[in-house]
Amino acid sequence: MQSLLKLSRGIDAFTRRIGKSLAWLILVAVIVSAVNAIIRKVFDTSSNAWLELQWVLFSIVFLLCSPWTLLDNEHIRIDIVNNLLPQRVRDIIDLIGHAFFLLPLTVIMIYTGAPFFMRSFEIGEQSGNAGGLPQWPAKSLITIGFALLFVQGISELIKRIAVMRGLIPDPHAAQVHALEAEVEHLVEAIEKR
């Protein structure tokens, strides 16, 4: 199990590095959007390539940073209900969710996404919009994103089993979720007034 935990730590480090690096593309997308809007208003001209670039940048962040979201335990769940359950039940729900829902979904998406990308790549698919971007790079993001999510799902499964066996402490036990941190920050700001 120790070798699996070492593999899990390597996957986690890789996922975090990719997520933190690619999250900056949100700023790039905002800049592209702002420049495109200014050019459109000032010079009364625009380009479909700039609009499509915004979509591709958002797609990169959404698909390739989703494993980082899973790593940081910030994925969607019903926290109000989840927090009422005993820790053992939450661990079992995570284990079943990862093994029987997340991993099979990622396999299906990789299996169906790869031919979708390959067909687009083989024909050199271009945008249907005048002056648009090639479509195959954006279509590759589906396969890449779900492959990364599959690998992170394996890491989460390894860690959950190790936690349930008492081999490691729960990495999310003392975690303050982003929403909880924001609420605490707002309460502090209100109390200062």
Listed by start position, the domains of the chain span 2-192
Q: What is the pLDDT of residue 48?
A: 86
Quote the CA–CA distance of 139 and 121 in Å, as a whole number. Answer: 9
Q: What is the pLDDT of residue 187?
A: 82
Q: What is the pLDDT of residue 179?
A: 63
Q: What is the pLDDT of residue 24?
A: 95
Residue ranges, the chain, pLDDT below 70: 79, 174-180
Q: What is the pLDDT of residue 174?
A: 67
Q: What is the pLDDT of residue 74?
A: 84
Contacts of 131 (CB under 8 A, 6+ apart): 47, 48, 49
Q: What is the pLDDT of residue 175?
A: 63
Q: What is the pLDDT of residue 128?
A: 85
Q: What is the pLDDT of residue 68?
A: 95
Its pTM stands at: 0.82
As a residue count, the chain comes to 193
